[in-house]
Amino acid sequence: MSKAELPKHEAATDPPTAGLDRIALLRPLTPEQRAAVARQCRWRRFSADEQLIDHWGDTRDVAFVVEGRVRVLSHSAGGREISFSDIDAGEPVGEMSALDGRPRSASVVALADGALVAFLPARPFQELVTGHPELAQAMLLRLCDKLRGATDRIMELSTLGANNRVHAELLRLAKRGKRQGIVAIIAPIPVHSDIAARVSTTRETVARVLSDLTRDGMLERRPDALVVRDLPRLEMLVEDVRGAV
Amino acid sequence: MSKAELPKHEAATDPPTAGLDRIALLRPLTPEQRAAVARQCRWRRFSADEQLIDHWGDTRDVAFVVEGRVRVLSHSAGGREISFSDIDAGEPVGEMSALDGRPRSASVVALADGALVAFLPARPFQELVTGHPELAQAMLLRLCDKLRGATDRIMELSTLGANNRVHAELLRLAKRGKRQGIVAIIAPIPVHSDIAARVSTTRETVARVLSDLTRDGMLERRPDALVVRDLPRLEMLVEDVRGAV
């Protein structure tokens, strides 16, 4: 990596060697080993919506998200976004192509300005995984987790209508939110198009379903949060229809 | 493993130690190591439609399919089958729960009488994977392959209607079949309910789509095979609508 590739303010405040300390996957390595990995990386900052991995490109490197947050997504030919997962700082993304050498399965874009990403070529990444059983084990668990998520989504797409998939996504968000008895607070307010991309429907369907729930008193829109008034009722709504098709 | 668990004819004709020689994943092991693994396995034969892994059971072992073929599937609450993949002799199944200790993501049933399966408990399987980097590597590639398949299916379910998913499945079958110029021969004739379970639709939809294609001259039903008369035309049919939603 040439210093020239790194913006000046970066070189001063964000020495690449320290950056990789934030990557959970690389924790089994010694600081010296991580420093050696950091030197093999190409470092770059991305602005919001900028693409770090191109679905149709021929790159195979793994990307470590050191700062910021990125989204794995694809588009239909009609331009509708299908999103797969959001990757937080500290996680790798694009590891499949780095491991198996096959084309990218999706694109990856930064979610906000300033995402700092370290790209490690496929070969040294494979050597890392092969040389450190704890690292291979962590990658296996990560892929299992992703495959379980994909299997759940296939089941939802196969057995639930779009309305109920929005309910199911709302339930997932509510369960991750703050709880006060049967009330759950989702903050910040999720963007309709994000929900739509996660459950493979249109923004209009999401807007309609949320407004129906609001009219029924199950949902309340506050300036800074979406409030589920009755979590058990939402749970029943999802469970009742799950797989009834 | 007690000898009593193995049917008598088994003990004579199918010594478990030799059985595991057919499992590709275990090829990096020496014959002695494979024999040691075989002794840790519980061996059983299954009849057609018999369940070897129960989605709702609390088992965590990996199952090596030594003879026969099995299907990974789930059911909607309404009883419709959603199938994920067919696993051939020589492959493992149920490896996710064995690796991550979490519940089963689906059920697994035998596709015909006489499937011979060796069950290895999670702990020794994890030790195998941790102790043999080639084995960990093979598992990583296997999980990548499954995750890619799941991602493709999510895209199809998100962007194609049921009719076009049947076209896409027919195209996959045709590409695996025998080719004669622009003609592709799919043999044996696929069962409508199998296609339906793979693309998450009903048997009736599959029957209707295939009969439409037959009327249009793109498909011909022979006693022993389904013949795609014009593979490029089918390909165009799939590509034209893929993602147009």
Residue B16 is predicted with a pLDDT of: 60
Nearest to A197 by CA among A60, A75, A32: A75
CA atoms of B195 and B207, how far apart (whole Å): 10
CB A70 within 8 A of CB B238: no
Segments of chain B assigned to CATH 2.60.120.10:
3-158
Confidence of residue A76 (pLDDT cuts 50, 70, 90): confident
CA atoms of A217 and A3, how far apart (whole Å): 57
A141: nearest CA partner in chain B: B100
Confidence of residue A79 (pLDDT cuts 50, 70, 90): confident
The b/e string for A153-172 (b: 16+ C-beta within 10 A; e otherwise) is bbbbbbbbebbbbbbbbbbe
Mean pLDDT computed over B140-165: 95
Mutate to test the interface with B, among A151, A155, A205 (most CBs of B within 10 A): A151
Residue A106 is predicted with a pLDDT of: 97
Beta bridge partners of A186: A226
Q: Over 60: is that where the pLDDT of A7 sits?
A: no
DSSP H helices in A41-121: 95-100
* Helix, strand, or coil (residue B244): coil
Residue A16 is predicted with a pLDDT of: 60
Tell me the percentage of chain B whose pLDDT exceeds 70: 91
Q: Distance (Å) from the C-alpha of residue A28 to the closest C-alpha of chain B?
A: 14
The answer for residues whose C-beta is within 8 angstroms of residue A39's C-beta and 6 or more apart is A1, A16, A17
Residue B7 is predicted with a pLDDT of: 47
Mean pLDDT computed over B119-143: 96
CA atoms of A126 and A114, how far apart (whole Å): 28
Between chain A and chain B, the number of residue pairs with CB atoms below 8 A apart is 140
Which of A235-244, B41-50, B236-245 reaches the highest mean pLDDT?
B41-50
B245: nearest CA partner in chain A: A78
List residues in chain A touching B: CB distance below 8 A: 74-78, 80, 82, 84, 96, 99-100, 102, 105-106, 129-131, 133, 136-137, 139-141, 143-148, 150-155, 157-159, 200, 242-245
Annotation: CATH topology of B161-241: Arc Repressor Mutant, subunit A (1.10.10)
Residue with tokens 């924790």: A27
Strand ordering across the sheet containing B115-120:
B42-46, B115-120, B62-67, B92-93
Residue B19 is predicted with a pLDDT of: 86
Average pLDDT, chain B: 90
Q: Over 80: is that where the pLDDT of A11 sits?
A: no
Q: Distance (Å) from the C-alpha of residue A221 to the closest C-alpha of chain B?
A: 28
Average pLDDT, chain A: 90
CA atoms of A173 and A183, how far apart (whole Å): 13
Nearest to B34 by CA among B47, B23, B45, B48: B23
Residue A130 is predicted with a pLDDT of: 92
The answer for residues whose C-beta is within 8 angstroms of residue A25's C-beta and 6 or more apart is A64, A91, A92, A135, A138, A139, A142
Residue A17 is predicted with a pLDDT of: 64
Q: Over 50: is that where the pLDDT of A167 sits?
A: yes
Alpha carbon of residue B154 to chain centroid = 17
The b/e string for A36-50 (b: 16+ C-beta within 10 A; e otherwise) is ebbebbbbbbbeeee
Q: Over 90: is that where the pLDDT of A243 sits?
A: no
| Residues of chain B found within 8 Å of residue A106, distances taken between Cβ atoms | 151
Nearest to B176 by CA among B63, B94, B86, B242: B86
B27 or A5: which leads in pLDDT: B27
Residue B4 is predicted with a pLDDT of: 42
Which of A8-22, A48-62, B7-21 reaches the highest mean pLDDT?
A48-62
Q: Over 70: is that where the pLDDT of A12 sits?
A: no
CA atoms of B238 and B201, how far apart (whole Å): 17
Q: Over 50: is that where the pLDDT of A77 sits?
A: yes
CB B115 within 8 A of CB B65: yes
Q: Distance (Å) from the C-alpha of residue A18 to the closest C-alpha of chain B?
A: 28
CA atoms of B181 and B83, how far apart (whole Å): 32
B3-158 CATH pick, 2.60.120.10, 1.10.10.10, 2.40.160.60, 3.40.190.10: 2.60.120.10
Nearest to A70 by CA among A48, A99, A97: A48
Segments of chain B assigned to CATH 1.10.10.10:
161-241
Using only C-alpha atoms, chain A has a radius of gyration, in whole angstroms, of 20
CB contact under 8 A, B82 and A146: no
Confidence of residue A78 (pLDDT cuts 50, 70, 90): confident
Q: Over 70: is that where the pLDDT of A240 sits?
A: yes
B159: nearest CA partner in chain A: A76
Q: Are strands B178-180 and B183-186 parallel, antiparallel or unpaired?
A: antiparallel
How far, CA to CA in Å, does B182 sit from each of A210, B7, B153, B175, B240?
A: 50, 49, 26, 11, 19
B150: nearest CA partner in chain A: A150
Mutate to test the interface with A, among B55, B99, B100 (most CBs of A within 10 A): B100
Q: Which of A10-19, A36-45, A81-90, A160-169 has the lowest mean pLDDT?
A: A10-19
Mean pLDDT computed over A181-202: 94
Q: Over 70: is that where the pLDDT of B70 sits?
A: yes
CA atoms of A143 and B141, how far apart (whole Å): 10
Other Cβ atoms closer than 10 A to A134: 12
Tens of pLDDT, residue by residue over B95-109, are 999 999 999 999 999
Residue A224 is predicted with a pLDDT of: 94
Tell me the percentage of chain A whose pLDDT exceeds 70: 91
Residue A238 is predicted with a pLDDT of: 86
A174 or A4: which leads in pLDDT: A174
Tens of pLDDT, residue by residue over A107-125, are 999 999 999 999 999 999 9
Structure tokens at A157: 């797409």
Q: Over 90: is that where the pLDDT of B1 sits?
A: no
